[in-house]
Structure 1
Amino acid sequence: MWAMPQNSVVIRYGAYESCGVVKHSTFRLEGLQAALNESGYQCVLQPTCDWNMVELVINGECVYTCNIKQLEFGGDGKLDPLCKRALAAVKDAY
């Protein structure tokens, strides 16, 4: 059985509409991943069937959720208030 590394965060993300096309895309997750990686967390991306949804899961427990369309497109996550809230939720969970 495969074990999750310590300090890992599962990012579950759903498909969303962009330019008239609905699909799973990670462009809006780049800032979130950058913020988590910079703080020493390892991200594991996991597509889900829930549209517009982002969930951060640690040890099987959802610690943060938001609408993927509210995350800033690209970037490093430093100016995105949702990335700051997500990072705080992850730190509180550990």
Structure 2
Amino acid sequence: MPEHARVTLRYGPYRSCGIVEHRTFRLQGLQAMLKAEGHEVILKEIPDWNEVQLIVNGETVFQCNINDLDFGGDGKLDPLCKEACDAVLKAY
């Protein structure tokens, strides 16, 4: 159970306004929650469309569709952010 883990947040491009590219707007809440719990977050772009993966100690502990995350905010009201943070705490 790492309290202060190094979390690699891998994310792919997604479509917004008809343009497909890597954006971090939907990752703001997730990043904020992870940093608030004392984790170090490293962003890494991947080619897989709509994909979000959290890697701790070389193991994928959480993944979801980037479009399922809330846009902007602090992540406190997004149940997926809570689920992702719990997955990081359970990683070993």
TM-score by length of 1: 0.92
**Which consecutive segments of 4 or more residues in structure 1 shift more than 4 A?**
none
Question: Structure 1 vs Structure 2: percent identity of aligned residues?
Answer: 57
Q: Which runs of 5+ in 2 are unaligned?
A: none
Residue 27 of structure 1 deviates from its aligned partner by 0.4
Match of 1:68 in 2: 66
SS of the aligned residue for 1:22 comes to strand
Match of 2:57 in 1: 59
- Please point out which of 13, 16, 38 is paired with 1:15: 13
The AA in structure 2 aligned to 1:16 is Y
Match of 1:50 in 2: 48
The AA in structure 1 aligned to 2:5 is N
Match of 1:88 in 2: 86
Matched residues in 1 for 2:60 and 2:89: separation? 13
Matched residues in 1 for 2:58 and 2:48: separation? 17
Higher relative contact order (CA 8 A, sep 6+): 2
Matched residues in 1 for 2:17 and 2:6: separation? 32
Residue 59 of structure 1 deviates from its aligned partner by 1.1
Match of 1:39 in 2: 37
Q: Which runs of 5+ in 1 are unaligned?
A: 1-5
SS of the aligned residue for 2:70 comes to coil
SS of the aligned residue for 2:73 comes to coil
Match of 1:3 in 2: none
After superposition, the CA RMSD in angstroms is 0.9
Matched residues in 1 for 2:60 and 2:70: separation? 21
- Name the count of aligned residue pairs: 89
Residue 58 of structure 1 deviates from its aligned partner by 0.6
